[in-house]
Chain A
Amino acid sequence: MNGILKDFLKNRQFVFFTVLIILIVMTTVLAPVIVPYDPYEAVLKDARLAPGPDHLFGTDKLGRDLFSRVIYGARVSLPATLSLVGLVFFVGVLLGIISGFYGGMVDAVIMRLADMMVSFPGMVLAMAVAGIMGASIRNAVIAISLVTWPKYARMARSIVLKVKNEDYMAAARIVGGRDLHIMIKYLFPIVAPTLVITAATDIGGMMLELAGLSYLGFGAVSPMAEWGLMLSEGRPYMSACPWMMIYPGLAIFIVVVIFNFWGDALRDVLDPRQQ
């Protein structure tokens, strides 16, 4: 265990981006203390102010402080993205292990379902699902998980198939191990590392997809301080007030870059073959 920890600490890229992620998380948690204004308070006489000493990032069409809203945006995006990744991981791994372990009919049903989900463009279905169920962050999360789980299930299944017939699996059965016990105790630890790496490298991309749905109006709803939504609200004013679209976009970009670099470094540490 000590060895792994050393590997982590030795990788400077990993340490650097982990620190940045901790900073992002702290900003998210401490947002109410950090922000100078209430992100939801409309002060109409201050509408559309350019960035200046009073308002670092300027104000939006309702006179809300953009800096405060951008900081608060992390409180929406971060938990939503992490629960999305968690949900996809859980569903994908669960179905993948079940599929690989039992084989036969169960496998056929799960895998045909997965085939169906990946045989057409995911974003189309995600849009349709999120749109039809009604715009909300929760529905956007459900919509994207619905089209993303097959990737995880297929990976988990293929790993299970590889080890299913090993001697220790037979041994576990002979001594009377129940299915559930075998799946949790033996299969999950084998499947987990690869899938955790995949999930870590997917965080950035999923954040972009969520913001994209919000931009289109299928995710966050007004007046929520969400980056994608803020961009689409700033769109009509972009010629005169470009700050309305520059700062929320920059926020998404920076957070996604950090998560992407972090995921990449995590993969390097956990899976040296990839280097």
Chain B
Amino acid sequence: MDLKEFLRRIGQIIIVLIGVSFFTFLLVQLAPGDPVMTMYQSMGIIPTEEVLNETREAMGLNDPFFVQYFRWLANVLKGDLGMSYSKYRPVASLLAGRMWPTLKLSISSMFVMLLFAVPLGMISAVYSNKPIDYIVRGITFFGVSMPNFWVGLLLLYFLAMKLNLLPVISTDPNALSNLVLPTLTLAFAMTAKYTRQVRTAVLEELHKDYVIGAKGRGESERAILFKHVFPNSLLPLVTMFGLSLGSLLGGTSVVEVIFTYPGLGSLAIDAIKAMDYPLIQGYVLWISLIYMAVNLAVDISYNFIDPRIKGEGKA
């Protein structure tokens, strides 16, 4: 990727972010609920019509749609995502506070997933259509069919409630044990999915001509696998893992809710339920930005992993 391509991608990201924020803004405007009413109700106050109107006016909610949107956009450019209606704190600081727990959870579950998916996928490919392959594939098949919230509840029930291995609800918010169950739940579904992908990637590599050539030259099976096949099949996997990290950051909500884990996902669910528009908009914008940044980083990393790609598309 050269500078021109890089700038083009940055431009694309900005366009998508504007599109996404416009879309969420529009959606919020069309929504049936009334945020001001919800806000007062959450404070335990039943406001009069006058109070409602005054508050709306003060919050700028009576202005035309485009005025509201551009005011929000201008503030965002200044780094101000607005105030949360339900938590009475700046959206930016709320998001920042929840970022690290979700990142921690995403990275740890990625790590656990790699620990299982890569070896299992490789074994499954090397011994394809042998009993061990059938067993691995069978398990992954059942794995992708289980709803992750159910897996989470089952783990909670058996590991925490029946076997008492872990606390059900921890008193210490920073305890490492808080991370175990959400990580296992997320890693379970991902392992099932990615084991199959690793298997496919390795299998494809195994069928290439150079493998036959190397065998013909008398190289040992082991050397072929570890020196050539596994490293070569890494490339398609890097994209996949990169994408999965991106979607993990946005996809942890269900698991965070089950385990009352204080991350971005549970914050988003709270925001949606409370009709907290600034927080919803801030969250969607933030997650989209991270997701696209991760994708860009993955593409850039190609340059280092596979030098062939550098020149591609230019000639």
Interface members, chain B 116-174 (any A CB < 8 Å): 141-142, 144-150, 153-154, 156-157, 161, 168
User: Which residues of the other chain, A, contact B253 by a CB distance below 8 angstroms?
Assistant: 123-124, 127, 216
* Number of residues on chain A facing chain B (CB within 8 A): 41
A170 at the interface (CB under 8 A from B): no
Given the interface pairs A133-B32, A217-B273, A238-B157, the reply to whether A256 lies near B149 with Cβ below 8 Å is no
Do the beta carbons of A245 and B16 come within 8 Å of each other? no
- Map CB proximity to B onto A232-248 as digits: 1 under 8 Å, 0 otherwise: 10010011001001100
The segment from A29-37, A40-48, A114-122 that touches chain B is: A114-122
Q: Which residue of A lies closest to B281 (CB)?
A: A128
- Map CB proximity to B onto A199-224 as digits: 1 under 8 Å, 0 otherwise: 00000110010011001111000000
A187 at the interface (CB under 8 A from B): no
Do the beta carbons of B287 and A124 come within 8 Å of each other? yes
Minimum CB–CB distance from B142 to chain A (whole Å) comes to 6
- Map CB proximity to B onto A175-216 as digits: 1 under 8 Å, 0 otherwise: 000000000000000000000000000001100100110011
Do the beta carbons of A120 and B147 come within 8 Å of each other? no
- Map CB proximity to A onto B257-295 as digits: 1 under 8 Å, 0 otherwise: 110000000001100110100001001100110011001
A257 at the interface (CB under 8 A from B): yes
B246 at the interface (CB under 8 A from A): yes
- Map CB proximity to A onto B11-44 as digits: 1 under 8 Å, 0 otherwise: 0110010011000100110111100000000000
Across the interface, A231 reaches (CB within 8 A) one of B13, B32, B150, namely: B150
Do the beta carbons of A212 and B287 come within 8 Å of each other? no
A261 at the interface (CB under 8 A from B): yes
B250 at the interface (CB under 8 A from A): yes
Across the interface, A119 reaches (CB within 8 A) one of B144, B150, B291, namely: B291
Given the interface pairs A121-B250, A212-B147, A228-B149, the reply to whether A127 lies near B268 with Cβ below 8 Å is yes
Give Cα A242–Cα B273 distance, bound, in whole angstroms. Answer: 27
Given the interface pairs A121-B287, A129-B27, A257-B142, the reply to whether A212 lies near B149 with Cβ below 8 Å is yes
Minimum CB–CB distance from B146 to chain A (whole Å) comes to 5
Give Cα A239–Cα B160 distance, bound, in whole angstroms. Answer: 10
Q: Which residue of A lies closest to B32 (CB)?
A: A134
Instruction: List 20 additional A-B contacts (Cβ < 8 Å) besides A121-B246, A228-B149, A253-B145.
Output: A119-B288, A119-B292, A120-B20, A120-B288, A121-B249, A121-B251, A124-B253, A124-B288, A128-B27, A128-B284, A132-B272, A211-B147, A212-B148, A217-B273, A231-B149, A239-B161, A245-B153, A249-B153, A252-B147, A256-B146
- Residue numbers of A with Cβ under 8 A of B are 115-116, 119-125, 127-129, 131-134, 204-205, 208, 211-212, 215-218, 228, 231-232, 235, 238-239, 242, 245-246, 249, 252-253, 256-257, 260-261
Q: Which 4 A-B pairs have the closest CB atoms?
A: A121-B250, A131-B272, A249-B150, A120-B288
- 8 interchain pairs (CB within 8 A)? A120-B20, A121-B251, A124-B287, A131-B280, A134-B33, A215-B147, A216-B257, A217-B269
- Residue numbers of B with Cβ under 8 A of A are 12-13, 16, 19-20, 24, 27-28, 30-33, 141-142, 144-150, 153-154, 156-157, 161, 168, 246-247, 249-251, 253-254, 257-258, 268-269, 272-273, 275, 280, 283-284, 287-288, 291-292, 295
